[in-house]
Chain A
Amino acid sequence: MTHPGFEAQIDAYLDGELAAPDAVELEEHLQACPDCSRLERRRRAVRVAVREHLPRFPAPDMLRARVRAQARAETRQTDRRRAPSWTALAVAASLAVVAFGSWQMALRGAAGEAITNQVLASHVRSLMPGHLTDVVSSDQHTVKPWFNGKLDFSPPVYDFAGGGFPLVGGRLEYVDGRPVAALAYSRRQHIINVFLWPAGRGRTVGPRAATRQGYHLLHWATPAYTYWVASDLGLPELNDFAALLRRGDSAAAATVR
């Protein structure tokens, strides 16, 4: 039989947590007591087996992204209480434009600013728990049909897993006074949201970039769709992503023709 008082001590000894005098005493006992020394050998084997067979689990990228987004959102709430709000600045800016003369420009600018803010708010909200996707799938042929009956258009959905931007899923959003399609893609621990809806006048708008509260926003319009893209991904990589999207669209347009 093992000496009961020694069992926990043997574990502490193997963990290097036993005070030196106790360790010396235990070592002497182990030499003299075959039962305890057998126990010590078995415990060593258990420790090896545990380390070999029980995995650590790396935090999923999505979790990492959400924890970050949450920290930023929380920080912004405090900053907003201290600093003049972004909307106030935007209003001030558009008033300044008005003062310089062109009503038309000011109106268009304010409308653009309103959409920018809506896209940003939607992006941030999507990063909160359970808000990212209504349909979770990396399969474009699952995500695209999901929008049937929910929107009056069928948004183009691509899978860029090959390009390092796997599709995560889709959801409905409400931007610029209408329901729009939102598609989530990921890049490492970053999430990219794509918002799109049919272009009003069919005018082409070249890609424009803006940075708000640490997030990058890209906007462009094809003859068919108005696009907004939001992410905390670095701008060069986000531009790569936008290029993939635009290439996908022009390939699709070419097929139709």
Chain B
Amino acid sequence: MESSELERFEAVVLPHLDAAYTLARYLTRNDHDAQDVVQDASLRALRYFAGFRGAGSGEGRAWFLAIVRNTAYTWQQRHRTDTLSTEFDEERHSETVADEHPEAALQAQSQRAALRRAIDELPPEFREVIVLRELEGLSYKEISDVAGVPVGTVMSRLSRARRRLEDALCAEPEDC
């Protein structure tokens, strides 16, 4: 890669590091692996960058996120982490509820805990469409580019993923 390419790379890829790390974090479900995945993906992106001809920021994001996603899946196969149970994450799983909390705050807290557990338990192909759509705001077409599946599949996966999250939130009937 030449210096002018480096500038283009920094302009196209670096603005999407937060999106990349968020996706990797949800796919690997821990910080350490997510960092390794993003760094590995960045190196791949550098090597393939000459072949990337997109101009817009959105294209750069979808292109980079596709590499991050594929890197995360390869990583998981190699390290077999997905077959293991989710490791206990202090920050995410210990939602302590104090007695003096008002009703609304208490409910929000238990909702948050239920949702975070539910997203971790989703199969990765459901988890990634939720992250890409709800947290990163990608269109169905962009998600189909990132995940390498037709738009129709994106639509049905998203719907099924939301149904599962809904079930988790509606564990208690009065919530819904």
Residues of A within 8 A of B (CB): 7-8, 10-12, 15, 17, 42-43, 45-47, 49-54, 56-60, 62-64, 66-68, 70-72, 74-75, 78-79, 82, 129
Contact = CB atoms under 8 A, between A and B. Distances in A.
B73 interface: no
Nearest to B38: A63
19 contacts: A11-B158, A11-B159, A17-B155, A45-B169, A46-B162, A49-B165, A49-B169, A53-B108, A54-B116, A57-B34, A59-B20, A60-B21, A64-B17, A66-B39, A67-B39, A70-B43, A71-B46, A72-B6, A78-B1
Interface stretch (B55-63, B78-86, B98-106, B127-135): B127-135
A218 to B, nearest CB: 24
Chain B interface size, under 10 / 10 to 19 / 20 to 34 / 35 or more: 35 or more
A59 B18 contact: yes
A47 B134 contact: yes
Contacts of A66: 39
B22 A42 contact: no
Contacts of B170: 42
Given A45-B176, A129-B39, A56 B46 contact: no
Contacts of B165: 46, 49-50
A212 to B, nearest CB: 15
Residue of A11, A56, A67 most packed against chain B (CB within 10 A)? A67
Contact of B38 (A56, A59, A79): A59
Interface of B: 1-3, 5-6, 9-10, 14, 17-22, 25, 31, 34-36, 38-39, 42-43, 46-47, 108, 111-112, 115-116, 119, 130-131, 133-136, 139-140, 155-156, 158-159, 162-163, 165-166, 169-170, 176
A11 B152 CA distance: 12
Contacts of B31: 60
A8 B166 contact: no
A46 B22 CA distance: 20
B88 to A, nearest CB: 18
Contact of A74 (B1, B18, B119): B1
Contacts of B2: 75, 78-79, 82
Contacts of A70: 39, 42-43, 46
A42 B130 CA distance: 16
Contact of B10 (A10, A57, A68, A78): A68
A53 B116 contact: yes
A178 B6 CA distance: 35
B5 A53 contact: no
Nearest to A130: B36
A66 B156 CA distance: 38
A45 B163 CA distance: 12
A59 to B, nearest CB: 4
A207 B38 CA distance: 37
A182 to B, nearest CB: 21
A79 B159 CA distance: 49
A67 B37 CA distance: 11
